[in-house]
């Protein structure tokens, strides 16, 4: 068994005892866990569990894509109404037209969307087809360079979404460290990611997110209508999910204070019980975040 209990970080705030215990129990069951949370206003770290470890994060890496798209919309290199195509060229190899890739766009009639609509699909439903279309438009190399310019060394969007991965493909769509992702969300909320217009544009896309099944399941929000404050709570988040991976990055503002967070669990997805156990633990982390902000 890997010794993932070796670094649980300082237990700064007593309510997070539940999160330490829950995530630690997964680690002792051979899951790989990484979590980081910090006060949005003071920057004080309140949760840290193997926060610097880079783990697979599934679609969470599309956050870097959205940042690059926002930069190019701001400097004029991309038009908000420029078309992006659903289907890849024959020699592209990403097979975005394969329905097994998932997402919402394959179920729509439109073969093309404008850049703004495609980015909204990424923010709202982490749509892999829209992610691929935008990634082809700006280029994976540019997204990598953007991450490096933001000081990210353990977080990256590695590849297109694919229905299956061969030996020549990256083993994961994206990887990330909870610490870097948490800090990135904090910078977005503070308007420090490039500049305020870029930060606000990305936050606007994230605010449409409909996946509240992981950490955010504890917040009691309407998945399709939480852009405005609800019971004095406001959330932006992005999730990632694939076999054996559940990941979420977000920022929650409550009546008392706000928090930026990132939680990733990589686990042996052998049966439904194992997956439900991970979801239950992430819900527990969400309860502590909610208590911190309320």
Question: Taking residues 143-166, what's their average pLDDT?
Answer: 93
Judged against a pLDDT cut of 50, whether residue 69 lies above it is answered with: yes
Averaged pLDDT of the chain: 91
Token representation of residue 176: 């990330």
Tell me whether strands 83-85 and 54-56 are parallel, antiparallel or unpaired.
Answer: unpaired
- Coil, strand, or helix at residue 139? coil
Distance between CA 160 and CA 183 in Å, rounded? 24
Show the CA angle centred on residue 63, arms to residues 62 and 64, nearest 5°.
Answer: 85
What pLDDT is stored for residue 167 in this prediction? Answer: 85
What pLDDT is stored for residue 115 in this prediction? Answer: 98
Instruction: List, in order of start, the domains of the chain with CATH numbers.
Output: 8-293 (3.40.710.10)
- Helix, strand and coil content of the chain, in percent to the nearest 5, comes to 40, 20, 40
Q: Where are the beta strands (DSSP E) in the chain?
A: 32-39, 45-49, 54-56, 83-85, 112-114, 156-157, 174-177, 234-242, 245-253, 258-266
Instruction: List b or e across 239-259, with b for residues whose CB sees 16 or more CB atoms inside 10 angstroms.
Output: bbbbebbbbbbbbbbbeeebb
pTM recorded for the entire structure: 0.91
What pLDDT is stored for residue 99 in this prediction? Answer: 61
Tens of pLDDT, residues 17-48: 999 999 999 999 999 999 999 999 999 999 99
Tens of pLDDT, residues 184-232: 999 999 999 999 999 999 999 999 999 999 999 999 999 999 999 999 9
Distance between CA 258 and CA 90 in Å, rounded? 47
- Coil, strand, or helix at residue 192? coil
Tens of pLDDT, residues 114-132: 999 999 999 999 999 999 9
Helix ranges (H only) for the chain are 17-28, 62-75, 115-125, 128-138, 140-149, 178-190, 196-206, 272-293
The conformation of residue 53, written as its DSSP 8-state character, comes to -
Determine how many CB atoms are found less than 10 A away from the CB of residue 79.
Answer: 12
């Amino acid at each position: 068994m890997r010794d993932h209990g070796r670094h649980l970080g300082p237990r700064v705030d007593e309510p997070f005892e539940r999160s330490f215990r829950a995530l630690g129990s997964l680690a002792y069951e051979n899951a790989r866990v990484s979590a980081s949370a910090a006060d949005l206003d003071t920057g004080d770290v309140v949760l840290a569990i193997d926060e610097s470890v880079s783990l697979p994060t599934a679609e969470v890496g599309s956050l870097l894509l959205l940042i690059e798209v926002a930069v190019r919309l701001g400097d004029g290199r991309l038009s908000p109404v420029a078309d992006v195509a659903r289907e890849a060229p024959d020699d592209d190899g990403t097979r975005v037209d394969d329905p097994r890739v998932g997402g919402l766009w394959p179920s729509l009639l439109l073969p093309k969307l404008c850049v703004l609509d495609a980015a909204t699909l990424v923010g709202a439903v982490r749509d892999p087809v829209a992610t691929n279309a935008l990634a082809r438009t700006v280029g994976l190399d540019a997204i990598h360079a953007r991450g490096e310019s933001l000081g990210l060394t353990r977080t990256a969007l590695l590849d297109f979404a694919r229905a299956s991965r061969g030996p020549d493909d990256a083993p994961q769509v994206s990887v990330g460290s909870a610490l870097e992702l948490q800090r990135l969300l904090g910078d977005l909320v503070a308007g420090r990611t490039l500049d305020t217009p870029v930060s606000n544009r990305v936050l606007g896309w994230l605010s449409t997110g409909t996946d509240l099944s992981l950490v955010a399941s504890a917040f009691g929000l309407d998945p399709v209508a939480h852009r405005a404050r609800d019971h004095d709570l406001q959330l932006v988040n992005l999730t990632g999910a694939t076999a054996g991976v559940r990941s979420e990055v977000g920022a929650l503002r409550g009546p008392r204070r706000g928090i930026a967070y990132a939680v990733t669990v990589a686990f042996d997805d052998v049966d439904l019980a194992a997956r439900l156990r991970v979801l239950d633990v992430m819900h527990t982390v969400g309860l502590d975040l909610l208590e911190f902000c309320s």
